[in-house]
């Protein structure tokens, strides 16, 4: 109960992470925005294990790993199933009907953390966590193929302390397909026209002035920022092998502990770094 969001200083604090293993069905059945090369499952698993390993070992988070469900090919992308802010978790109603059941397992694990759970029961509402950008001060919700106005309204009702602004998303799967928070008050944004337009929208809607970190590649703009007590600013970003130019931009962040993570396989099915975890900051007392 550090208060509302604990202020910018507390942004990125995280104690727990929820992840989920990859089902083999992912390779052939996972939803794709566009056809492309097949997913190398073995490599995908390795990359994911590295990802989880960083969270667990390197950063010391308590990682709650859910088992894979072969009937849910996209279940590894846990981010879409829940939005957690402080002590409150909103269980979403994913825009893709095939993914609705992913929420069940998420609900159980979040309940185990004793969070205030809010479920999105309105059948007219859809919301993917990937469309929700929390800046520490406010929410931006992308209105995409997966997320609609009603879903955003429910999110606004759930997190009443914060302003919730909507951002139209057209050319990408999710809002966070081309942006994310790279630090307190720092938005990483892709260079595409759609990304820049969305950024302008967000800037206009906000009372705050955010710094922006523009990277050449939209996909690379999705990174994970953490504020780890013993390590300070930590940033998980796409590996230089994948996006060398964008990696150079990240490397200019002198105050950040940079951890490159490859995500080549899941990217084939529209997966980004943030998609694979739900980060939770659970204060010990409560």
Partner 1 sequence: MTTEVGAETEVKKDAEQAGAGQAKDKPDEASRTTEDEKSRKASSEEPLDSSSVPVPTSPSSQKKAKDLSESKGISRFLPPWLKKQKSYTLAEPKEEAKKKTVREDQVIEAGDCQLPEEAPQPERSLKGAATEKEHSAKAEEKEEKRSVSSAETQPAKEDGKEIEVEKVAEEKEEKQVEKEEKQVEKEKRETKEVQTGEIKAESIPQKSPKKIKTVQCKVMLLDGTEYSCDLEKRAKGQVLFEKVCEHLNLLEKDYFGLVFYESSDQKNWLDPSKEIKRQIRSLPWLFTFNVKFYPPDPSQLTEDITRYFLCLQLRQDIASGRLPCSFVTHALLGSYTVQAELGDYDPEEHRSDYISEFQFAPNQTQEMEEKVVELHKTHRGLSPAQADSQFLENAKRLSMYGVDLHHAKDSEGVDIMLGVCANGLLIYKDRLRINRFAWPKILKISYKRSNFYIKVRPAELEQFESTIGFKLPNHRAAKRLWKVCVEHHTFFRLLSPEQPPKAKFLTLGSKFRYSGRTQAQTRQASNLIDRPAPHFERTSSKRVSRSLDGAPIGISDQSLLRDFPTARGGPAGDKVLDIEGAGQAKLKEGSREENGSPVKTPQLELIQDGKKLHSLKVDGENIYVRHSNLMLEDLDKTQDDLLKHQASISELKRNFMESTPEPRPSAWEKRRIPPAALQAPARHGSRAEGPCAGGSDADKSSHETLDIVEEKKQAEVGREEGVVIDETNKGKMQVATDAGETCKVELLSKKDSSSLPSDSSSSSSSESEDEEVGEYQPHHRAIEEVIREEQEEEEDANRKKEHQEKIKQPVEAPTEGSKLNVPVEHAAQVAAEALAQENAVTVATEEKKVSEEVKQDVGEEKEEEQLRLNGDVSHVDIDVAPQIICCSEPPVVKTEMVTISDASQRTEISTKEVPIVQTETKTITYESPQFDGSTGGNAGVLLSAQTITSESISTTTTTHITKMVKGGVSETRIEKRIVITGDADIDHDEALAQAIKEAKEQHPDMSVTRVVVHKETELAEEDEE
Q: Which chain residues interact with partner 1 by CB under 8 A?
A: 1, 3-5, 7, 86-88, 116, 138, 141, 149, 152-153, 156-166, 204-207, 209
Ligand-binding annotation for 55, yes or no, is: no
Q: Is 16 a catalytic residue?
A: no
Ligand-binding annotation for 74, yes or no, is: yes
CB closer to partner 1 out of 40 and 87:
87
- DSSP code, position 232: E
Ligand-binding annotation for 207, yes or no, is: no
Catalytic residue among 14, 16, 85, 174: 174
CB closer to partner 1 out of 2 and 104:
2
**What does the alpha-carbon distance between residue 250 and residue 242 come to, in Å, rounded to a whole number?**
13
Cβ count within 10 A of residue 54: 19
**What does the alpha-carbon distance between residue 225 and residue 261 come to, in Å, rounded to a whole number?**
13
CB closer to partner 1 out of 54 and 280:
280
Name the 3-class secondary structure at 115: coil
Q: 184 Cβ partners below 8 Å, 6+ apart? A: 8, 9, 11, 12, 136, 227
Report in angstroms how near the CB of residue 228 gets to partner 1 at its nearest. Answer: 23
Ligand-binding annotation for 146, yes or no, is: yes
Ligand-binding annotation for 79, yes or no, is: yes
Report in angstroms how near the CB of residue 138 gets to partner 1 at its nearest. Answer: 7
Q: Compute and round to an integer the Cα radius of gyration of the chain.
A: 17
Catalytic residue among 14, 179, 275, 276: 275
Q: Is 275 a catalytic residue?
A: yes
Alpha helices per DSSP H over the chain: 26-29, 41-53, 102-112, 149-158, 193-205, 244-250
Cα-Cα-Cα-Cα dihedral sign, residues 5, 77, 20, 103: positive
Q: 3 Cβ partners below 8 Å, 6+ apart? A: none
CB closer to partner 1 out of 98 and 206:
206
**Are 232 and 183 in contact, with CB atoms under 8 Å apart?**
no
Report in angstroms how near the CB of residue 13 gets to partner 1 at its nearest. Answer: 15
CB closer to partner 1 out of 46 and 170:
170
Residues known to be catalytic: 174, 275
- Binding residues for substrate, by number, are 31, 74, 79-80, 99, 146, 269
């Amino acid at each position: 109960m550090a208060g509302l969001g604990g202020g910018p200083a507390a942004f990125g604090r995280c104690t727990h992470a929820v992840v989920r293993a990859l089902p083999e069905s992912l390779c052939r059945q996972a939803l794709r925005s566009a056809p492309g090369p097949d997913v190398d499952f073995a490599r995908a698993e390795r990359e994911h294990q590295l990802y989880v390993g960083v969270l667990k070992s390197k950063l010391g988070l308590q990682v709650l790993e859910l088992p894979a469900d072969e009937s849910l090919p996209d279940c590894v992308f846990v981010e879409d199933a829940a939005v957690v802010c402080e002590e409150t978790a909103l269980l979403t109603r994913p825009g893709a009907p095939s993914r609705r059941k992913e929420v069940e397992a998420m609900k159980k694990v979040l309940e185990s953390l004793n969070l205030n759970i809010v479920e999105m029961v309105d059948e007219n509402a859809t919301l993917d966590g990937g469309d929700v950008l929390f800046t520490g001060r406010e929410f931006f919700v992308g209105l995409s193929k997966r997320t609609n106005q009603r879903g955003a309204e429910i999110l606004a009702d759930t997190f009443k302390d914060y302003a919730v602004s909507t951002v139209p998303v057209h050319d990408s799967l999710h809002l966070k397909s081309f942006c994310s928070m790279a630090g307190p008050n720092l938005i990483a944004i892709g260079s595409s026209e759609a990304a820049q337009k969305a950024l302008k929208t967000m800037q206009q809607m906000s009372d705050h002035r955010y710094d922006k970190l523009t990277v050449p590649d939209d996909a690379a703009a999705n990174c994970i920022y953490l504020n780890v007590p013993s390590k300070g600013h930590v940033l998980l970003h796409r590996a230089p092998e994948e996006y060398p130019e964008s990696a150079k931009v990240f490397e200019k962040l002198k105050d950040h502990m940079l951890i490159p993570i490859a995500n080549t396989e899941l990217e084939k099915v529209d997966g980004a770094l943030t998609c694979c975890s739900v980060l939770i900051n659970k204060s010990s007392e409560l």
